Amino acid sequence: MPETGERLQKVLARCGFGSRRVCEDLIEDERVTVNGRTAILGARVDVATDIVSVDGVEIGIQPDFVYYLLNKPVGVVTTASDTHGRPVVTDLVPSEPRIHPVGRLDMDTEGLLLLTNDGRLTHRITHPSFGVDKEYLAHVQGTPSRGALRKLREGVELEDGPTAPAVVAMPSPGLLRLVIHEGRNRQVRRMCEAVGHPVLRLVRTRIASLADATLGPGEYRELSVDEVRQLERDAGSGSPESDG
């Protein structure tokens, strides 16, 4: 077993097998193998090449992937660097390892934004063919009629084509909850504008199964292992045209 690399109990803990202490017990109970050989406490693994199994089942050890859920405030740009020197979302999370935002929220839109260095998951969440739901709360001007709500649900004609059917509710007059799975530029704002009700405030409240009403504006947290796995399941249930 390699002398360098990451401690096995740390890798197991990161993959969701419990605390470091619990993972040490797994190793001491001889339930863990590295490249087919029973592991010993103190072993180090190279997560890029070693095959780690627990109870005979190989575990996916994704090297150095991080996943942050940020509550983006108004006035922050969804990019990793801005040529105009404006505040950017990556200023609000740790700078190492380098990560990128998953999709984008307009500068004047608030709410949940994922940031990660996992390119495969990014593609699956942002590509419309995977059908990942995003939920928004839109405070709009005026009170949309039933006809306007129906148009939003059935799809509205925008300059870049009709929108896909959306789930739309109006929990209170002038407040819309919209669930869409496309990610077109300023889509919710343009949809509401198209039915005569410009958006006054827009907040993204859910990405697939991920929601968190406890994060204040500008706050972030890391996703749990279970949340990442659920997200992978959510993003894997569509029928992609391509999964490049």
Told to check if 202 binds ligand URA by CB under 6 A, we report yes
Q: Which stretch binds ligand URA (CB under 6 A): 56-64, 103-111, 139-147, 159-167?
A: 103-111
Size of the site for ligand URA (CB under 6 A): 8
Q: Report residue 190 as tokens.
A: 């343009």
Told to check if 113 binds ligand URA by CB under 6 A, we report no
Tell me the C-alpha distance between 109 and 185, whole Å: 12
Q: How far is the CB of 187 from ligand URA (least distance, A)?
A: 4
Pick the catalytic residue from 25, 46, 106, 212: 106
Q: With respect to ligand URA, which residue has the nearer C-beta, 188 or 228? A: 188
Which of 106, 212, 227, 232 lies at the binding interface for ligand URA (CB under 6 A)? 106
Would you say 36 and 51 are in contact if contact means Cβ atoms under 8 Å apart? yes
Q: Tell me whether strands 109-116 and 199-207 are parallel, antiparallel or unpaired.
A: parallel
Which of 188, 207, 210, 223 lies at the binding interface for ligand URA (CB under 6 A)? 188
Told to check if 189 binds ligand URA by CB under 6 A, we report yes
Would you say 157 and 113 are in contact if contact means Cβ atoms under 8 Å apart? no
Within the chain, how many helices (H) and strands (E) appear?
6, 16
Told to check if 105 binds ligand URA by CB under 6 A, we report yes
Would you say 225 and 16 are in contact if contact means Cβ atoms under 8 Å apart? yes
Active site residue 64: no
Query: Measuring CA to CA, which residue among 148, 143, 183, 144 is closest to residue 163?
Result: 183
Binding residues for ligand URA, rule: CB under 6 A, are 105-106, 109, 186-189, 202
Residues that are catalytic: 106
